[in-house]
Amino acid sequence: MTIAPVDDLEILRCPHCGGALEAVAGGARCSAGHHHDRAKQGYLGLRVAARGLGAPAAGDTADMVDARERFQGAGHHDSVAAAVRDAAVAALAGSGVRDDGWVVDLAGGPGWHLGHVLDALPGMRGLVLDASTIAVRRAQRSHPRAVAATADLRARIPIADGAAALVLKVFAPGPAAEIERVLTPGGVLVAAIPEPEHHRELVQPLKLLKVPAGKAAELVASLPGLQELARTTVRETVRVDRAGALDAVFMGPNAFHQKREQVETALAALPEPLDVTVAVTVVTLRQPG
């Protein structure tokens, strides 16, 4: 079976003015004349500065994306991917939302979670939005039904009103502003949020960034227009070797605060392999139909 190319201009909107985009030489343009370049790898560059916040966010570096892909590829977060996928499939079944709509993965990184969801929802198309050029490059070729674009999600989410049947927000930083605008009636948000004990065997000895309690409840409270359908917490331990532990540290925001040599030295004092807690809450919310 040949798969028709996914047309990203159907869903994407100008990050400056929200206008529809048409294809032009080298990229896309809105009716107000804002031009956005298309990279040779096929994705559109829609990353613009959020008002009052200075330069656009750069997102994860190549080293961080490599670490994330190795850690995910090793299976350490398979239970989280399965929980996100199952929550999405369960919520969409019987929701009345078209089963050939868009799944939008906010701050989706290289698109690993989106790929699991698309495999389970064979009629749907996926879009990863992320600030990181390198993550978006990988996401663009991550799945036959996925496309990607760079975006600073502290600004406007550069997609059309009501265009998303399903929004994913998995370990994604930042506020949930705009999610209600982009969800179609009956559409579903699945968010995955770490709990304070997530990766605690690394967080405590290596003095990593702590996850505050109550983040899932905070997200739900920030979306008063959506109805909560389900909430579940994945809890397990995974066994990681030293290289896996290093990836767990350097695939996330700790990469901006930690020195690799110091983390390596601290890890050498810990047992190998190390049993590491995974504790992630998956919340499902629905836009009223």
Ligand X SMILES: C[S@@+](CC[C@H](N)C(=O)[O-])C[C@H]1O[C@@H](n2cnc3c(N)ncnc32)[C@H](O)[C@@H]1O
Shortest Cβ 25–Zn ion spacing (Å)? 17
Within positions 61 to 80, which residues make up the interface with ligand X, using CB under 6 A?
A: 68
Q: Answer with the entry of Zn ion, ligand X, none that 27 interacts with (C-beta below 5 to 8 A by kind).
A: none
Angle separating helix axes 133-140 and 62-73, nearest 10 degrees: 40
Binder to ligand X among 113, 116, 125, 143 (CB under 6 A)? 113
User: Which residue is listed with tokens 């398979």?
Assistant: 78
Residue number, nearest CB to ligand X: 59
Shortest Cβ 204–ligand X spacing (Å)? 20
Contact pattern for ligand X over residues 210 through 249, marking x by CB under 6 A: ----------------------------------------
Candidate segments 12-20, 177-185, 200-208, 224-232, binder of Zn ion by CB under 5 A: 12-20
State yes or no: residue 203 binds ligand X (CB under 6 A): no
State yes or no: residue 14 binds Zn ion (CB under 5 A): yes
State yes or no: residue 115 binds ligand X (CB under 6 A): no
CA dist 289 → 97, 99, 124, 229, 232 (Å): 9, 15, 19, 13, 23
In whole angstroms, give the CA distance from residue 123 to residue 119: 9
In whole angstroms, give the CA distance from residue 195 to residue 215: 8
Binder to Zn ion among 11, 28, 30, 124 (CB under 5 A)? 30
Binder to ligand X among 144, 173, 215, 230 (CB under 6 A)? 173
Binder to ligand X among 12, 14, 28, 107 (CB under 6 A)? 107
Find out whether 15 and 48 touch, Cβ atoms under 8 Å: yes
Find out whether 184 and 289 touch, Cβ atoms under 8 Å: no
Q: Where are the beta strands (DSSP E) in the chain?
A: 21-24, 27-30, 35-37, 44-45, 102-106, 125-130, 146-150, 164-170, 183-194, 227-240, 274-286
Residue number, nearest CB to Zn ion: 14
Angle separating helix axes 242-250 and 260-268, nearest 10 degrees: 140
Shortest Cβ 34–Zn ion spacing (Å)? 3
Find out whether 139 and 106 touch, Cβ atoms under 8 Å: no
Residues that bind ligand X (CB under 6 A): 57, 59-60, 68, 107-109, 112-113, 130-132, 135, 151-154, 170-174, 252
